[in-house]
A and B are shown apart, each in its own frame.
Chain A
Amino acid sequence: MAKLAVTQPSGSNLNEKRTIGQKIKEFAVDFWRQRELQSMIIPGIIFMIIFCYIPIYGLTIAFKSYTVIDTLDSAPWVGMENFKIIMSDRYFWDAVINTLGISFLKLGIGFIIPIILAIMIYELSFTRMKKFVQTVSYLPHFLSWIVLGGMMINWFSTTGLFNQILLDLGIISKGQNILLDPGKYWWIATLSDIWKEAGWGTILYLAIMAKIDPTYYEAAKIDGASRLRQIWNITLPNMRSIISLNLILTVSGLLGSNLDQTLVLMNSQNREKAEVINSYVYRMGLTQGDFSYATAVGLGVSIVSVILLVTANKVTSKLNDNQSVL
């Protein structure tokens, strides 16, 4: 700790009189003194440079006409051409609408459900039941969309589980494959995603709830607060920061709606409502070999996502007494 204190830039007037050479020397000395600490961060920096920063150069292909046999340098520049095409591409805009539609449904419903579920689990006093509910709700998270999607295609088939239950209950008279119904796709995507992830989403909340001081509750009980009152006045306020953090992360991912899910559940009939930006980029980039176009879309999406992230951070910090989470 003492070593660390030495390296704090003092910013005093004395420092300003030193030459650049001295400063470099000082920096080197400081660096050497804390070499053990610095060496821990170096692998991380190198990793970031190689896998996160160097690939950024690859974004230039969004402004080029690039094919497999070109290098990043040899592909001819085409300026904003790819972006112009995106603007007039109906399929792209369909994909944007679907992505936003599905994402907002997921945000509206899928964001609140883990919070409610976490509170319900937290309020359960029977420990075994608590463990059981947690395990059951986590389980789908560990299955990939390939498996879950296959199961869903099976369940929704005309003779599958879903139709069988409806037939037995007398709700319908003939099996229908709802995966072929574009009007229902957004709901299928949203609800199946909630089923898969809601349980997993409770982990953070449960962790934060475990840290709430039990004396708050005791005091509240003495004051005669009901269970709901306790949740409202103690549990929720204590979860505020983690809820904001989650919201920021979710909002920044609005445009990145689940690719795996779409690729498994999309078919020729529900495509108009199922195609999301990611699956569109996948189709254009990988199956059509139109790398430049796909990169241009990806770049645009990234920029919008950053804007969303910053906006969400601003909004939540306003709600959180001007305390920013990021």
Chain B
Amino acid sequence: MIKMNRVLRKKGLSLGAILLAVMLTITACGSGGGGGSKSASLPDLDGRYTPDPSTPAWKLDTKKETTDLTWYVNADWWNTDFGKDTVTKKIKEDLNINIKFITGDDTKLNTFFAGGDMPDIITVFDSNSAVAQKASTWALPLNDLAEKYDPYFNQVAAKDTMNWFQQKDGKTYGYPDYSNTQADYDSGDIPAKTAFIIRQDVYEAIGKPSMKTPEEFVSAMEKIKSQFPSLIPFGFNSIGTGTGSLGDVLQDYLGVPLEDKDGKFYNRNLDEDYLTWLKTLNTVYRNGDISDDSFADDGTAFEEKVKSGKYATILLDGVPQQGGNLQTFMTNNPEDKYIAVDGPQSTVGNQPTLNQSGITGWMINYITKKAKDPAKAIQVFTYLLSDEGQALVNFGIEGETYKKNSDGTVEFLPAVKELQLTNSDKFKKDYRMGEFIFFGHDRYKALNKDSSPEAIKQLQEWGNGKLKPHFILENINPDQGTPEARSLSAIDTTWNTTLVSLIRAKTDDDFNKTLDAYKKFLDENNWSKIVEIRSEKMQANRDKLGIK
């Protein structure tokens, strides 16, 4: 004991420090866990207004004082200003609200859940993540909110989208942006985002050949190389950890089936038609018409080459994202521009089935259980989803920033358009049109021809009628954290390497060996179980969407 005491005395300070650490740790952890698994009971309106199915509640609400809402966006790049530009100023006035935006990453999001001090609204980016899957524990169901505070919400929310995000308890907790339903695809309002493009001067110089079959494609690339030795004949999106535009984008071009005959999961990577085209690309590579650099380039390097017109042809994914670069090339080279032509096509007669943003959409918005005024929060959702709100966030205020044409399309007023072309920073700062995208949708963008740069209009038109929903393939991966998810991640990584190795194969024998190694890898890594899970999830998707 005496010895102990001596030690204690010697180490008094450090021991004290450790004790303090332990105490702090315990308190730090003790405060956690209040994230809210309590069942939600929605507060009463206290006579503020009587909900009416035919009128949006924000028009009925008589609440005098301004409501403060905190809105967390899980992205550091989000512009947190509110109430200074045309768009958000109008939102602020119409709804009598003041929104305080907070941005951050998953760590910050976790802090909210752990600390229990939740914001009113949360926007995340992965509807397959644990946050979205366990939404029932921390978010309020939109169905209940609509019923109690704002029945008009049901008129502006797409039914398919609501069904799609329905959880096991039959309720929907989050609503996404850019969620395209079957009706959207059918309407033709949403533009294609992929295209096989070629520089116009190159196209004319080589005699506008057809490039639909493998033989035609190979010979066109040879012609390009001999006539334009300084250009890279064939380019594609940067590969990185994915497949660039040589995976599912090329498969969509060739119309590779989405499912097998029995409606089960179909491994599109091993489709014969697709493999034929990979062999073709291998030939093109061996002829020296694909640059090795394309496999090592990152996104920036790729964009740089697009901007300077370094590629003669590109299989391009994400046309709108490259709009600026394509426009730069067109502006600097008025005689030349990239145009979309019929590129690689199925060798067995399938039609292209181009993909667009699916029903899952992009960002997804939730109202949390800690929302101080849930009635106001759902009003914001309804407002932004309605035609009125969509017109505001996309075009601004009628008469002030845009005018309506007789055919239903809209155009910016000359002064606004001028500013958009000459000073896009000020345009963004003053108006913020097209940027408040929490509930954005392409069908409203399509009404305004000024919303896309000149350089991509022909590219988008080319895709008309070639879009086909890929809904049944959405969110079919095994759940995060399961052994199957880990296997799949390994398989995807291997496919990424395999795809590039196939195209870079030195001999036919090499090509076949690489392919066999991939097949073997599938067998060794739980592939059959993954196929099973995916097939089940595809069936669930079908049920949700009412597809036979």
Residues of A at the B interface (CB closer than 8 Å) are 9, 11, 15-16, 20, 23, 27, 45, 48-50, 53-54, 57, 65, 67-74, 85, 89-91, 150, 153-154, 156-159, 175-177, 179-180, 267-269, 271-272, 283-284, 286-290, 292-293
Closest residue to A271 on the B side, CB-wise?
Answer: B497
CB <8 Å contact, A177 and B293: yes
Closest residue to B34 on the A side, CB-wise?
Answer: A71
B143 vs chain A, min Cβ distance (A): 21
B43 at the interface (CB under 8 A from A): no
B131 at the interface (CB under 8 A from A): yes
* New A-B contacts (11) at CB < 8 Å, excluding given A16-B6, A67-B134, A271-B493: A9-B6, A23-B8, A54-B25, A71-B114, A72-B114, A85-B486, A150-B300, A153-B298, A159-B293, A268-B500, A269-B501
B489 at the interface (CB under 8 A from A): yes
* Chain B contacts for A69, CB-based, 8 A: 35, 110, 113, 130-131, 134, 137-138
B348 at the interface (CB under 8 A from A): no
Per-position binary interface string of chain B over residues 9-44, scored 1 when its CB falls under 8 Å from any chain A CB and 0 otherwise: 110110001101100110011001101000000000
B295 at the interface (CB under 8 A from A): yes
State in angstroms the CA–CA spacing of A289 and B292 once bound together: 32
16 pairs across A/B with beta carbons < 8 Å?
A9-B10, A16-B2, A68-B109, A68-B130, A69-B110, A69-B113, A69-B130, A69-B138, A153-B296, A153-B298, A180-B295, A180-B296, A267-B240, A268-B240, A284-B489, A289-B129
Kindly name the residue among A154, A177, A287 whose own CB sees the greatest number of chain B CB atoms within 10 A: A177
- Contact pick for A68, options B106, B291, B493, B496, CB 8 Å: B106
A265 vs chain B, min Cβ distance (A): 9
CB <8 Å contact, A49 and B21: yes
CB <8 Å contact, B21 and A290: no
- Contact pick for B113, options A45, A48, A70, A292, CB 8 Å: A70
* Chain B contacts for A70, CB-based, 8 A: 113
CB <8 Å contact, B6 and A272: no
* Chain B contacts for A15, CB-based, 8 A: 6
- Please list the 6 inter-chain residue pairs (A to B) with the smallest Cβ-Cβ separation, ordered nearest first: A67-B130, A71-B32, A177-B292, A71-B114, A157-B293, A53-B21
Instruction: Check A73/B32 contact, CB under 8 A, given A53-B21, A268-B239.
Output: yes
State in angstroms the CA–CA spacing of A180 and B239 once bound together: 13
CB <8 Å contact, B301 and A153: yes
State in angstroms the CA–CA spacing of A267 and B21 once bound together: 43
Kindly name the residue among B2, B25, B109, B480 whose own CB sees the greatest number of chain A CB atoms within 10 A: B25
**Chain B interface residue count, Cβ-Cβ cutoff 8 angstroms:** 56
CB <8 Å contact, B497 and A268: yes
State in angstroms the CA–CA spacing of A281 and B497 once bound together: 19
- Contact pick for B17, options A45, A91, A177, A287, CB 8 Å: A45
B297 at the interface (CB under 8 A from A): yes
B188 at the interface (CB under 8 A from A): no
CB <8 Å contact, B481 and A290: yes
Query: Which of B167-181 touch A at CB < 8 Å?
Result: none
CB <8 Å contact, A269 and B497: yes
B490 at the interface (CB under 8 A from A): yes
CB <8 Å contact, B12 and A27: yes
B504 at the interface (CB under 8 A from A): yes
B321 at the interface (CB under 8 A from A): no
State in angstroms the CA–CA spacing of A9 and B10 once bound together: 7
CB <8 Å contact, B5 and A23: yes
State in angstroms the CA–CA spacing of A284 and B493 once bound together: 12
State in angstroms the CA–CA spacing of A50 and B297 once bound together: 42
CB <8 Å contact, A85 and B504: no
A77 vs chain B, min Cβ distance (A): 14
Closest residue to A28 on the B side, CB-wise?
Answer: B12
CB <8 Å contact, A288 and B480: yes
B83 at the interface (CB under 8 A from A): no
B483 at the interface (CB under 8 A from A): yes
* Chain B contacts for A50, CB-based, 8 A: 24
B369 vs chain A, min Cβ distance (A): 12
CB <8 Å contact, A68 and B486: no
Instruction: Check A267/B296 contact, CB under 8 A, given A54-B28, A70-B113, A85-B486.
Output: yes
A290 vs chain B, min Cβ distance (A): 6
CB <8 Å contact, A268 and B32: no
State in angstroms the CA–CA spacing of A45 and B13 once bound together: 10
* Chain B contacts for A158, CB-based, 8 A: 291-293
CB <8 Å contact, B296 and A177: yes
State in angstroms the CA–CA spacing of A91 and B13 once bound together: 45
State in angstroms the CA–CA spacing of A180 and B483 once bound together: 31
B209 vs chain A, min Cβ distance (A): 26
* Chain A contacts for B489, CB-based, 8 A: 284, 288
- Contact pick for B33, options A45, A71, A157, A180, CB 8 Å: A71
Kindly name the residue among A49, A85, A150 whose own CB sees the greatest number of chain B CB atoms within 10 A: A49
* Chain A contacts for B296, CB-based, 8 A: 153, 156-157, 177, 179-180, 267, 269
CB <8 Å contact, B17 and A290: no
State in angstroms the CA–CA spacing of A73 and B481 once bound together: 18
State in angstroms the CA–CA spacing of A179 and B293 once bound together: 9
CB <8 Å contact, A73 and B29: yes
State in angstroms the CA–CA spacing of A179 and B6 once bound together: 61
- Contact pick for B29, options A72, A156, A157, A159, CB 8 Å: A72
B497 vs chain A, min Cβ distance (A): 5
Closest residue to B129 on the A side, CB-wise?
Answer: A289
* Chain B contacts for A153, CB-based, 8 A: 296-298, 301
CB <8 Å contact, B24 and A54: yes
Closest residue to B1 on the A side, CB-wise?
Answer: A20
Instruction: Check A289/B32 contact, CB under 8 A, given A23-B5, A45-B17.
Output: no
* Chain B contacts for A293, CB-based, 8 A: 486
B301 vs chain A, min Cβ distance (A): 7
* Chain B contacts for A288, CB-based, 8 A: 480, 485, 489
Closest residue to A267 on the B side, CB-wise?
Answer: B296
CB <8 Å contact, A91 and B490: yes
